[in-house]
Each structure stands twice: as structure tokens, then as C-alpha cells.
Structure 1
Amino acid sequence: MTDPITDDTSRALRTAWFDYLDTIEPFRPALHAYGLKLTGDVWDAEDLVQDTLLKGFAMIGRGDLHGPGSPVADPKAYLFRTATNLWIDRVRRASRERAWLGEPQAPTPPSDPDAARQGAEALFSAASPQARAAVVLKDVFDFTLEEIADQLRTTVGGVKSALHRGRAALAAAPSDPPRRDGPSQALVERFIAAFNSRDVPTLTAVLTETCSIEVPGVGGGRGRRGGWAEASVGHAGARLEAGVYRDEPVVLFFNEDDRLYDIVRLEGDGDLVSRITNYCYCPDTLKAVAAALGLEVSLLGYHQPPQVLTRMIATTTLPWGEGMKLH
């Protein structure tokens, strides 16, 4: 059977995707800030942005931008509405999963500071996702009540009620998001040592056979023998250091000017790396993490044009290689 996805089709889709990123780029910082306010976590915010952009790409690509009642006539409003709906669905799904697992939905009264922090976080989480979104849309991004009603698919009266509930919950919640588990410090240090050895077998040996390499918004690869290790050892300009962001060990990439230009998060399977997530084309996330760590940042932007990125992969100027597949 002939493969329906030809090279020409793939190139056309990549070009359309990057053209789309260029078009919506002015909205990206605000969209990321919105995701950060909703989720309280920079990584979850980036995930929400990426999911929103993918859905927007499909809708804008097949919709009439200027027809009567077009949902994408106002691209910024559409992206915010999409992010809101995706996040509300995610929260509801997580709540259903907790209920199915029999986990408690409300905290017991706290008796110490750490428990009080957890209780406040749970209190804000217990507020409806619509209430949380309404507060952020009104108080942070200054949307009108009518615009928020459209975002949340409710009435102006419903928005006012949601704002009242959400502000009360938000006032009791701490500004810091809950901590998350990450890879062991030993695994991060082993990964860095293998990279710095510039030895392909050593670096390959740190990865599982099915290790996935993900570059949000651009592409990724799979497998320890997909070319990633070969490209990595050839990237002479990179200096890697272990870092800790919100108690999670991460890998920091510095250029020759000692500026942070990439952050890599690892997931482990025992003492091997099973997943690499590379945030070099997520400038809003990079800036947020760099600010928290007190580092200067050198941004690559949201993406590189396909022909530039392909050339960079071929000449190993970035720390991934021939195994990378562009979406």
C-alpha cells in the first residue's frame, strides 16, 4: 500500500505550521502567561500552549476567518478560549480520575505550616475551573465581562458569580505551585557526564532503547540509535550543568557567552534516561525558569524555518540529530 503521507505533503505541512507560528507569535507571550496563571506550573503552561496551538492550527486551517459567526475571526480571543476549554477539560478529567481512584477531594483541616500550604492549594483547586479562569481573564488580562462570558460559555451574571467565588479562593491560596517529582540527581549527573565525554557509546548507553526525544513545537525522535547521540557529541559549544528548578533536577545548556539557551528535563527508567524534553524553542518557558534561577538567557525564538532547522540538524549545531522528525 502506498504511503499517503509523501515527502511533498510533509514539507507542505511543515511550511504551513511555521507560517502559522509566525502569524500567531505576537499572542504567544500572553497565552503562556495565561497558562502559567491557570496551572501555576511553567511546564504545564507550556504543555497547554502547545495543545492550544495544535488545536488552533487545525481550526484556523479549515475555517473561514471572516465568515459570519466565525470562531476564529478574532485569533487572540480564539486562542484564549481554546486554552480555557482545554484546561477546564483537563481539570475535570483529573478530578474524575481522583474520584475513580478513591482519592480524597478535600483536605483535612491543617495543623502545621506545611499542611496549611497544602490545604490552601487544595482550596484553590477545589474552586471550579471556571471560577479560576474568570479571575485570571478579568484581573490579569482585563477581558470584559461579556468577553469572559463568551470564553466560558456562560452569562455575564454567571461570570460575576464565578469572579466572586474565584477571588475568595485565590485570596486563600499561596502564590507558589505544588512541587513535582523529577529524575534523581544521580541520573541527571550521569547524563551530563556522558554528554561531556563527547563519546557516542557512552552517551548512547545512558538512554533506553526506546528513549523519546521531544522538542515542543518543533518535533522529536525516538530510540537511542536515532542519531541524537552522534549530533550531541559534535556540539562542541554547549556547556551543561545540573540545575534545580522548584526542587526538580534539570539539565541547563549554556552557550559560549555563559547564557542559558536550553533546558532539558529527563525522565528515568531505573538508571537510564527514557525521555528527554528539550525546551530550546520555548522562549517564554526559558525566560521564566532563567528568571527564577537568576540566569541570563539567550533565546532561539519560537522556531527556526524548516530549511534552517534541517540544515542545523545536518551540521549538528544543536544537541539533537538525524533521528529527529519534524512535525
Structure 2
Amino acid sequence: MLSPVSGDFLDQADPYRRELMAHCYRMLGSVHDAEDLVQETYLRAWRGYDRFEGRSSLRTWLYRIATSACLTALEGRSRRPMPTGLGGSSDPGDELIDQGEVPWLEPIPDRMTDPASVVGSRESLRLALVAALQHLPPRQRAVLVLRDVIQWRAAEVADAVGITTAAANSILQRARAQLARVRPAEDTVTEPADAEQRALLDRYAAAMERKDIATIVELCTDDVVWEMPPFGNWYLGPEAVGQHLALRCPGKAGDLRLLPIEANGQPGLATYLRGPDGRFHAFNLQVFTITSAGISHVGTFLDVALFAKFELPESLPADHEPAT
């Protein structure tokens, strides 16, 4: 049974859970790790709640605890990249290289963060930006997120990170400069209206289910990027993407089923592949960047453990209707 203090803490703190999830995800690049760190944040805060003196808001206090927990968790860890962050584009004819040992960036379902309302807006959760943040050392990452996303004052950031205000300002300048060097241009594009995006993805889903590679390529921009962790290979341009799909996309027409998802404030699709039993089994998750010219980026994640985070079934029945 909860004590009155425990009950009061949960009532006061629970409304901040989604934005703290977004904060930990920006810091860590992993939905699994972010979930663990939010739990740790609430446990630490609950244990110390009777000593909370209210000198700052409860929200600020929770962010300080979460930031400290994230910085501790990041000690000695490698950053979580996307394949584009590791080297040049690949030839579609090359064998796929499974780099399962790399701690890859993961997508996060919108239901866990509510991008439309969390502090920093949905743009601050986009895959491209979170991938760029992973290039920053942990303390630079924390300072930049707290200043430029959460919009804290320099003194508040310094207090949270345990440094002077002057040091916080210096770190922020270095972090902004580094982010500008690694942040892709696609992260600043203006997207078409949601209805237009959904219509385009409906066409894409139907083409994938028909294995209509020509239509898929037609829907992509001239500089489209296709990447698919845990494979280190990635492709630049519609021709390379089309060749990859022709050579590597498994199954034949009718062997795929796709369901819409929302991740990182972006549209996406969950892909299921027909198995020997006739059912369609979890295969990958795709997250899209869409511009007025078409699909400019496809992040394809083959870790089927992510399906549970998106509350998706492990399989679909053999008679599941196609998108067409």
C-alpha cells in the first residue's frame, strides 16, 4: 500500500512521464534504455521526495534527476549511430554486412512521447536530429538539449550538469558547432501536410505489397537515403535503392503486408513477411522523411523486438487484406 507521500508524488509527477521519456531518448538514442532511465528517475525521485524542498518546480527537479541518470548511464558507452554515420554509401551489389555488435539508434513510438505536445516539439524527436545528437559527447549533448530543446536558462543547465555557467555557455557553443557539421540538410526540410504524406505512404505500401519497385523508386527524391540497421550498408539515390530492393527484398508479390505506425514524430510502416505457415510475421519497421518532392529518407529497422514497443502483433493472419 502506498504511503500518503508516495501517492502524492505519483499524482504530481506522472504528468511529466512522456516528456521525460522524450528527454531520455534524445540523450540515449534507445527506446529500451530511455524507458529504463525514466523508471530509474521516478524511483530516485520517489525515494527523495520527502526531502524535496520546492526551491525549483517538480518538473525541473525531475529533469535534473533524469539528466544525471542519463549521464551516468552514458559513461563508457559507445554512441548509437545510423549506418550513414559510419561511412560512405554502399554498392547495391555488395553483400549485406550485419553489424549486430553496434548499438544502433532505435526509433521511438509516438505514443510513448506524444511529439505534438512534449517540450521541444516533434521536430526535436526526428530520427535525423537524434542521430546527430549522438555525435556529441554526453555532457555536450545534455547542455545542448537542456538549453536549445527544453529552453532552460544557462544557470539552470549549469546547476543540472554540475558545472559553472561560463562552462555551460562554452560547452553549448561547441555543441552547436558540432551539431551544425553533422546534422543532415533533410532535418530542416518542410514536410507536406499530413493528408498528403498519408496518401503517398498508401501508394508506397501498396507498391511494396505488389513488389512494384518502379513505383517505389518513383516516389523517392533524387537524393533519397535508404539505411537499415543492423546492416552497415546504406544506399544513396533512387537507382541504388531500386537495385537493392530487386536484389535483396525477400518474397514475391503478395508476400508482404504493411501497417501504418508513427515514430519520432514521423510517419512509418510496419512490414510483415509471409512465412512457411502462411501467416505474415514481423519483419521490419520503416520510418520516413517526406518532402514536397517525395520520400527523402527511409530508416528501416530490422530489430523485431521493437514491434512490442509499438504495440504491434508478432504476426498477421494469412488472410490479412493487402493495402491494395
Name the TM-score class by shorter chain: 0.3 to 0.5
Which structure would you say has the larger RCO, counting Cα contacts within 8 Å and 6 or more residues apart? 2
TM-score scaled by length of structure 2: 0.42
